[in-house]
Structure 1
């Protein structure tokens, strides 16, 4: 179940939903919220994203090529 980004916890691996020039989709890598912004959980690199929703990251269950609309699961 997707939750509003305003409730995203800090220091935990999360799956993020973003809205960009390609439409709405889930990122294919886990992210961590920090006071300074978001980072890729695997590389620890900062990322410039503006997520709309989050849910707990569940390893190995997120398909790498997910073309479903997020509105199908919101």
Structure 2
């Protein structure tokens, strides 16, 4: 993988979760519910897990840099 491509991918892995989590007005609502939880809470929980995945991908790419 080229160096420039690697940096673009790394930047996206960091920026995507940041922008989604900062966009609170987009997901600040009660419906749809999932297992009785309002959308706001289960969406946050989903992104907690997703951000962990993004971080592991980031770490793996940085580790393979050498």
Shorter-chain TM band? under 0.3
Which one has the bigger helix percentage? 2
Q: Which has the higher strand share?
A: 1
* TM-score computed with the length of structure 2 as normaliser: 0.23
Please report the TM-score for the alignment, with normalisation by the length of structure 1. 0.22
Q: Which has the larger radius of gyration?
A: 2
